[in-house]
Structure 1
């Protein structure tokens, strides 16, 4: 992992490339185009870019209407506004009728930073995965983001893309990407650690450090939260007997609960631990300080995983 690129920046570039290949792609934003990076698309295709202003609900309804005309709309704003403020329009205006709308929501999680708890979406995965028919994707780096955008355009129906704000490591090797199919990045026998989004890179580094201490981890990039890769979860729960999830999201309703449901339904006899934001709101601070505050720094993840392995 040699380069650092913001997932939101990769999203903007991917939209522009997709727009060149498919004239049916249109993009909407709610007055945050330079933050969500949809401005990249708007500059190249101004006739297919629509700024709804600070009116997220209107933006989602506009996207719904465009979808009924055969367009493939990507609606973007901060995750807290798109998944939260406009929830009714996402649910009833798009998902309920099964409209072909894509939601590219950026600045998700506590690493939004100084804007504080009112702007930090730590419950958006939970809100989106509970909506019938909604596909939920959380890419881990810039390369995966581009592939996720193209995949979303091929899906008939609503898709939620959860996108991070800060520059994050880009994996040197390009991983395969298939919606609903997890990527196993490392094979091990002592525990299976399942992560998504920007937590994948620190988990992989923790696995490398723990290997030096004689502990072996399987690391799984669960980029699709819904539909989730049940086969992968059950396979490695059986092989490793210990499953740990790591997410920059509340431990209630997110990746951890999605994995836990599979373990329960499939009657997997594995120890299970969720690492993420506990039942609390975020607060204002620098992203690295917030990760430390909420137990999600690389060092803290390492210590928590090590604690499970030595229990």
Structure 2
């Protein structure tokens, strides 16, 4: 499994909520309490303004464009500026899955997409390297997303047996496609594991660590995998990911360990050994430093 797929799999979405939103006239909707969620939307008609907490400038979104909100920040969608938003919870039923919500009679802007609930304990570490919003707007990228978006629209407008399940799978496909496209189009100088995967040499090193996390990797081993000198690789890895190669490896091991402890009855000694730690105390020290809690206290662990 490639690194992006592995990271998304570790997020283990607990639920998907797929829906359409059809707005008309002057409107604004505020989405609060987004922690623990990834949102992925595509604008299929009209346009709107996206304002994200902590970002100075609103982002204009037009038909054919998509955006992903991976950081859990609150945001507002609006037809224009200076409008008082209504709370999303007042127009979107809390457990709604499928169908279309209309505001102001609809007919102006239409978007389709999904909310992914992710594991909060791991999400912070896995999503920390992503920007508050990822915008898919290049013409070629829009075309790459068109099929899944159009299919989702069809399932939401004309529900048939199995429509909810199909819409959920299409939403997952939209998310992966959007992340992949944003990764490919990332501007130079962006820092984090997500952007490092767009660099073939860094991706090769990260892929090797993911493929064999228990191996006693050295910086030289990883540099060889990347086809670089040790010093050049170490500097480039830090510049692209924001951390040293061994720090990334340790964090990835601890994320895998947390997943094992949470989902199996394997004792700490077994998990530690399978991730390359022959000392339980060394493993426990590293785990607590990265995850914030000792292994035995991890939810579901033993």
TM-score for the superposition, normalised by structure 1 = 0.28
TM-score using structure 2 length: 0.29
Bigger-Rg structure (1/2): 2
